[in-house]
Structure 1
Amino acid sequence: MRHYFVLISLAFTFFLQGQSLHQIPKNVKRSSISSFENFNGVINNGGKINKGAKGHAFEEFKAGETKTLLDLKGPGIIQRMWFTVRDRSPEMLRAMRLRMYWDGQSKPAVDVPFGDFFGFGLAKVVRMETALFANPEGRSFNCFISMPFKTGAKITITNESELANEMIFYDIDFVELKKPEPDALYFHAFWTRQKSSELGKDFEFLPRIEGKGRYLGLNMGIKTDACYENTGWCEGEVKLYMDGDAQYPSYVGTGTEDYIGTAWGLGVYTNLYQGCTVANDSTREYAFYRFHVPDQVFFFQHFSGAIQQMGGEMRDYIRRLLTNNAPLKPIMVLAGDKTIRLLDQPKDIFDAGFPDGWVNFYRRDDYSSTAYFYMDRPTTSLPALPGVKERIN
């Protein structure tokens, strides 16, 4: 049944693109693949080593080494990427740095940790099959995002750890075009992390970008602070600011788990466009994703995205945490059929008249995320990827 829905989704995607499986688009020049067996997919050049037998399927990935995986000139579209590596630990997957450059630019449009790029918050790998990424048996990394370019494309990967990764395999499928697609947007990805912050400050997973484009979605990882014990953490609402939004967003959800299509907490599940890959209460680690594929999010002037750091628990539990000096700020209480908004109607939670009920509160935890989006330009002013120690520790 699941495969049936995948086929329906793919058919719908082809319909939206105005293509069919039995037709060759008029602008396509040729299809090929870049791998260690034939870098850049050069005509009549694949698999030469070992007299045409399998001879160069992988390479060792030394500490500090950068490998160029693709370096094309002219217009084209990257259609699919596949990788596997021997060391798939979170530390190695965060230390490996994936960069993509479009149209000869010196600044990458994609500059992110390898594991996080492929949909895994906290770089913790699980079996997964989604509309954009897949890891069918927990041993490979697949990306199906379309990435057009007008005059060239370059993809590199760097091992910024202190250890070698014994084996790295890859292939990148692409088509070359006869001429550039004038209206095609450039693919971008941005990774960031915020280990702590002031109470009430949202985690900004995508700082403001200027221009026209499409927000494609994100994956996010959260390590909750032990000072909050087992209280809920996923009350925070996702906010998308675009095209005239300033202090307040036009797109605001109702809660973290609601944003990824579930409710009343988070368990592990993986669907085409939304899922939770990690939900570990004992280690206080959580990771989830949401892809805006059927619900397209366009912007024409500017865009930014954030999520509130907010949790919830019953009144007396919150009182005890406050007594223990846990950094939190109550903002709302639900008591029976009554809702009290504490920022509009301030009340002291220790007051004898404070109602007994569920209390939502500001908190601060360790957030990291990868945001995916398209832009009408090959570079942005977003900051560079943080150093490897910041990504891992």
Structure 2
Amino acid sequence: MPGLFMPDLSSIFRAQEGRSRLISGWGARPLARLLGVARGPFSDEFSRKCVTLAPEESFTLADLEGPGIITRVYFTFTLKWPRALPRGLDLLFYWDGEENPSVCAPLGDFFGSAFCRYREYDSLAQSMQNGGYASRFPMPFEKSARLVLRNSTGRRVEQVFFGVTVRTGIELPDDSLYFHSHWIRTNPTTRGVPHTVLDARGAGHYVGCHLQAQNRDAWTRRRPDRWALPGGAGMGHMEGWEEMFIDGEEGPSQHGTGTEEYFNAGPYFTHGRSTGVLEGCTVRSYLTGRIAAYRFHLHDPVPFGSSFRMICHHGLLDAIEADYASTAFWYQQEPHQPVALPPLRERIPSQVGAHAMRALVFWPVVLGAKAMTRLLGA
């Protein structure tokens, strides 16, 4: 399959194998009355494009026969989301008839939605821009693929638009691995215990993650000489670093020096939000104590033969109380460890009121108003 996933144009002129299909919401459901729209030929035609999900309903987006490779998964929503919705719609992807999904994550977090808010970014693997959610991770399957969207919001969800692009009629390489993704949240963190980003069993390679972290530490109540360390002036959780343990080793093969360094950024994401083709920061705010970032190991996947464990420390000595949530991406042989999502009440982002009040008291004393506006970020 020359050039199928090349990020450049060096081989786009070469002959391509197979057949490309798009499975979308067009005609997927009987006509439904649109919220706030009079019934008629135009509304009937519009309603053919999208689907409506009842509370607790599981809707099959695509049910495919293999062999094939899914090359794109896309969503958009015309109606404004309630705050909980990005973490209340569940993506469940099954390969080759398996019972436990290989992809098990809230829709928003899978695509990089930060704290249930839409934050635009554009990368080679995924993007959120102009209201759309897109993933371009290749997802091969030998016999079958079933992609399910489950509504765990407890309410009716209107006008869900989606698209699944698949290449069929191809022969998969013998060493093809299956795509996996899982969402994990630690809230609140425990002193001395790091956040787990991924704990996988089997052979494969890790290819990246989205990470969200919110400081819940009462850092201004510490002695002033501890506001910098471990407090970090409200960003002390970012003094924690990542560690990767491969094939059961006692010491990590990869030992980082700070959260922002893993995402190829400077101290506390020095200039705030940024977007890059392999890494970026979509949230950095001293006001709320929140950061959200992504990194994709497309040039440097991390292989493992029997197991892989990645952790992220929350501050020096894991001393900063925080709310961590991460979505990891990896490829591996089956079977994989069964995974599940917690109930919706355990997914909602933490409140920011107390941390914001501490920041508003502290930073005006240190900085002028103009510098403070630039520092607090979005």
Structure 1-normalised TM-score?
A: 0.75
Structure 2 partner of 1:165:
157
Contact 2:211-2:325 within 8 A present in 1 as well = yes
Match of 2:175, SS state, is coil
Structure 1 partner of 2:285:
280
Distance in 2, Cα, partners of 1:69 & 1:382: 22
Structure 2 partner of 1:366:
323
Distance in 2, Cα, partners of 1:151 & 1:12: 23
Shift, 1:131, TM fit: 1.2
Contact 1:121-1:369 within 8 A present in 2 as well = no
Distance in 2, Cα, partners of 1:296 & 1:288: 18
Contact 2:215-2:320 within 8 A present in 1 as well = no
Q: Which amino acid aligns with 2:258?
A: G
Contact 1:192-1:368 within 8 A present in 2 as well = yes
Q: Which amino acid aligns with 1:294?
A: H
1:18–1:296 distance in 2 versus 1, CA, 3 Å: farther
Match of 1:257, SS state, is helix
Match of 1:371, SS state, is strand
Shift, 1:102, TM fit: 0.2
Shift, 1:143, TM fit: 0.6
Distance in 2, Cα, partners of 1:241 & 1:17: 33
Shift, 1:19, TM fit: 8.2
1:251 to 230, 237, 254: 254
Asked if 1:133 corresponds to 2:90, the answer is no
Contact 2:3-2:11 within 8 A present in 1 as well = no
- Which protein shows a greater Rg? 1
2:98 to 92, 100, 105: 105
Contact 2:76-2:132 within 8 A present in 1 as well = yes
Q: Which amino acid aligns with 2:331?
A: Y
Number of residue pairs matched by the alignment:
319
Structure 1: runs of 5+ lacking an equivalent: 1-10, 40-48, 312-359
Shift, 1:60, TM fit: 2.0
1:181 to 161, 173, 186: 173
Structure 2: runs of 5+ lacking an equivalent: 29-40, 221-233, 350-378
Structure 1 partner of 2:340:
384
Match of 1:249, SS state, is coil
* The 10-residue stretch of structure 1 (220-229 or 127-136) with the greater mean CA deviation from structure 2: 220-229
Contact 1:274-1:288 within 8 A present in 2 as well = yes
Distance in 2, Cα, partners of 1:16 & 1:56: 34
Deviation string, structure 1 residues 196-238 (Cα, Å, up to 9, x no partner): 243221111112x222111011111112114124353211110
Asked if 1:219 corresponds to 2:214, the answer is no
Shift, 1:160, TM fit: 0.8
Deviation string, structure 1 residues 279-305 (Cα, Å, up to 9, x no partner): 122222221111111122111221110
Match of 1:233, SS state, is helix
1:14–1:35 distance in 2 versus 1, CA, 3 Å: closer
1:275–1:225 distance in 2 versus 1, CA, 3 Å: same
2:309 to 304, 310, 319: 304
Contact 2:91-2:103 within 8 A present in 1 as well = yes
Asked if 1:37 corresponds to 2:26, the answer is yes
Shift, 1:104, TM fit: 0.8
Structure 2 partner of 1:124:
117
1:158–1:58 distance in 2 versus 1, CA, 3 Å: same
Contact 1:202-1:306 within 8 A present in 2 as well = yes
Structure 2-normalised TM-score?
A: 0.78
Distance in 2, Cα, partners of 1:256 & 1:81: 29
Map 1:49-128 onto structure 2 (within 5 A).
56-85=48-77, 86-128=79-121
Match of 2:26, SS state, is coil
1:22–1:55 distance in 2 versus 1, CA, 3 Å: farther
Structure 2 partner of 1:151:
143
Match of 2:283, SS state, is strand
Q: Which amino acid aligns with 1:128?
A: Y
Q: CA RMSD in A?
A: 2.6
Distance in 2, Cα, partners of 1:198 & 1:126: 28
Deviation string, structure 1 residues 132-160 (Cα, Å, up to 9, x no partner): 111222x1101111000000000010111
Contact 2:206-2:329 within 8 A present in 1 as well = yes
1:148–1:17 distance in 2 versus 1, CA, 3 Å: farther
Shift, 1:268, TM fit: 1.1
1:90–1:240 distance in 2 versus 1, CA, 3 Å: farther
Structure 2 partner of 1:22:
13
1:270–1:89 distance in 2 versus 1, CA, 3 Å: farther
* The 10-residue stretch of structure 1 (279-288 or 249-258) with the greater mean CA deviation from structure 2: 279-288
Deviation string, structure 1 residues 214-273 (Cα, Å, up to 9, x no partner): 101111111211412435321111001103412x20111111111101111122111111
1:199–1:179 distance in 2 versus 1, CA, 3 Å: same
Match of 1:81, SS state, is strand
